[in-house]
Every structure is written in C-alpha cells, then in structure tokens.
C-alpha cells in the first residue's frame, strides 16, 4: 500500500507487535473452549514478537547515533554482565548501573526502551535443582516488587498516552488512505499469514508439533488474534510519524480498525471451532 511512498513506508513496522493483554483477554472470555496449550503458545509468541519490536525500535527508529555514548552503554552492559558471572546477587549494584546504562542509551540516540531489556538480561535468575526457576532469585524478587507499580500505574499510563485517538477531525476518506490501509491490512492479513503459515510449515517439516489438543482451525483463530496491535503498534506509529499529525491519526485509525477486526474474527473462529476430543483412556483391568 505504501511501497512507492518513502515518507509513509517508514511505518512498515507498525503491525509487528501483538498486544498480550487484549489477545489473552479474548482467550479468557472463551474459557475452556480454548485449550491451555494455545494460551501458552499465544503468550510466548506475543512476548517474543514484542521483544522483536523493541529491537526494531532500537535499530530503525532512533535519532542520530552518538558513538561515544554507545561505547559507554556497551562498557556499562559489560560490567553488568560481569557482575552476573561473578555471582553478585544483591540488586542494588544492578539497579544503580541500570540508571547509568539508561542515561548512556538516552544520550546515544537509541530508544531507551532497549536499556530496560539489557538490564533485565543481566540480573541473576538461578534455577533450583529440579525446578524450572527459583522464586528467591534476584530477578524474581525485583519482578514481584515492581509488578504492582508496572501493572496498575505505568502500563495504564503508557496505554492511555499512546491510545488517544481524537475523532473530531475524522473524515471517512481516511479509511482508504494508504497508511490506514497498510496498517490495518498488515495486522489483519500479515499476522495471520505469517503466524499460521509458519506454524503449518514447522509442523509439515517436522520442526515442531501443533499445540496439544488444538485443531488447525483453533491455531488459525489464534493467528488472527495475533493481529491485535494496540499499545506497541501505536507507540511505533508515533515514532515513525513523530512530525506528521495527519499520518499519526491515520496510523491510530488503522491500528484500531485492524485490531478490532482481528479481535472479532479470531473470537468467532475460536468460538465455532469444534474442540479436539480428548484421547480415550484404556479401561483399568
């Protein structure tokens, strides 16, 4: 839709991320009709493609880079990594160096969202013997400490700040503008073709198995739900068209139209998809 327009093609990454909260909310409303394996699959996929969106922001939506500041960030990250390898388990050194890293990243021109990911990668998460993770590890302690602030204060403010769509200047022709169509179709067609297509390819090639007790139709329904963009998509749109309010408005309309369409269609597919029968147990002799 925007191939021949370099100015609007800058928004190519807007449909990249999946909004975890909305997508899982739809699955929660469907209850037991959706197997647990699909909920795990959607959660993992949404987390991974949001991390991918973070990398895209760092690589493609940054200001002029400052090599000295990038060097300072690299040295700080190396020190954090060294603390991890040295077995330092106190959180304070990681948090203090995290502030330093954030400052270097801010001054480097790379978006500061990458600083939080880098700090989190270095905080120790030591597995206990026989357990998948250790609830007493520094990373778990930090997660449980900041979770209420993140979930009930930071995230709502972030979502509210990025989701504000003023419809006062809305004109129906905006629905057919290249940016609006590109974003909406990227979410609706791109995500379902990408997710469902790669799942089928992985299963056919023997690289993976379909989520247990999930039919192809149910996997397709989840692929549709992956087109729910909202928060991160709006955030990338604001970065891509920071100096163009008209394109920002078209981006927001495209995200809303595409996300709502994916939400409705995905819910309908999952609602009317017959569940996979449980395997019969052999009678006890």
Q: Is the dihedral of CA 66, 69, 71, 76 positive or negative?
A: negative
Query: How confident is residue 279, by pLDDT bands cut at 50, 70 and 90?
Result: low
Mean pLDDT of the chain: 86
Q: 58 CB contacts (<8 Å, ≥6 apart)?
A: 110, 111, 113, 114
Cβ-Cβ contacts under 8 Å for 43 (sequence gap 6 or more): 20, 24
- Assess whether pLDDT exceeds 70 at residue 282: no
**In which band, very low, low, confident or very high, does the pLDDT at 190 lie, cut at 50, 70 and 90?**
very high
The SS3 assignment for 19 reads coil
Angle at 194 between CA 238 and CA 221, to 5 degrees: 95
Q: How far is CA 224 from CA 236, 237, 262, in A?
A: 20, 21, 5
Q: Which residue has the higher pLDDT, 269 or 278?
A: 269
Mean pLDDT of 77-85: 94
Q: Is 87 left (phi over 0), alpha (psi -120 to 50) or beta?
A: left
The half-sphere exposure of 21 on its side-chain side, counting CA atoms within 13 A, is 8
Is the model's pLDDT at 242 over the cut of 80? yes
pLDDT band at 7 (very low <50, low <70, confident <90, very high): confident
pLDDT digits (tens, 9 = 90+) for 164-178: 555 555 677 778 899
Choice between 94 and 63, residue whose per-residue pLDDT is larger: 94
Among residues 127, 58, 71, 122, the alpha carbon closest in space to that of 96 is found at 122
Q: What is the pLDDT of residue 277?
A: 62
Please give the Cα distance from 63 to 129 (Å, whole number): 45
Q: What percent of the chain has pLDDT over 90?
A: 41
Q: Is 205 helix (H, G, I), strand (E, B) or coil?
A: coil
**Lowest-pLDDT choice from 112-121, 132-141, 240-249:** 132-141
Q: Is the pLDDT of residue 222 over 90?
A: yes
Q: Which sign, positive or negative, has the C-alpha torsion 135, 140, 143, 145?
A: positive
Q: What is the pLDDT of residue 164?
A: 57
Amino acid 154: pLDDT: 81
Mean pLDDT in residue range 15-36? 87
Residue 34 CA to residue 30 CA, distance in Å, equals 7
């Amino acid at each position: 839709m925007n191939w021949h327009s370099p100015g609007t093609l800058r928004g190519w990454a807007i449909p990249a991320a999946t909004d975890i909260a909305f997508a899982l909310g739809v699955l929660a409303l469907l209850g037991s009709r959706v197997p647990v394996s699909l909920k795990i699959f959607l959660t993992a996929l949404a987390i991974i493609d949001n991390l991918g969106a973070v990398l895209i922001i760092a690589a493609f939506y940054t200001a002029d880079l400052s090599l000295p500041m990038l060097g300072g960030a690299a040295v700080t990250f190396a020190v954090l990594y060294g603390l991890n390898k040295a077995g330092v388990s106190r959180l304070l050194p990681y948090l203090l160096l995290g502030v330093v890293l954030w400052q270097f990243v801010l001054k480097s021109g790379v978006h500061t969202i990458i600083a939080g990911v880098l700090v989190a990668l270095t905080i120790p998460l030591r597995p206990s013997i026989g357990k998948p993770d250790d609830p007493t590890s520094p990373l778990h302690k930090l997660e449980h400490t900041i979770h209420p602030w993140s979930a009930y204060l930071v995230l709502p403010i972030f979502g509210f700040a990025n989701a504000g769509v003023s419809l006062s200047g809305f004109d129906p022709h905006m629905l057919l503008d290249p940016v609006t169509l590109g974003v909406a179709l990227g979410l609706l067609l791109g995500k379902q073709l990408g997710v469902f297509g790669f799942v089928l390819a992985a299963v056919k090639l023997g690289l993976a198995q379909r989520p247990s007790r999930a039919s192809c139709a149910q996997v397709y329904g989840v692929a549709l739900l992956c087109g729910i963009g909202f928060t991160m998509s709006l955030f990338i749109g604001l970065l891509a068209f920071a100096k163009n309010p008209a394109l920002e408005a078209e981006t927001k309309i495209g995200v809303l139209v595409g996300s709502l369409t994916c939400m409705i269609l995905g819910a309908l597919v999952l609602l009317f998809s017959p569940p996979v029968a449980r395997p019969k147990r052999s009678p006890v002799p």
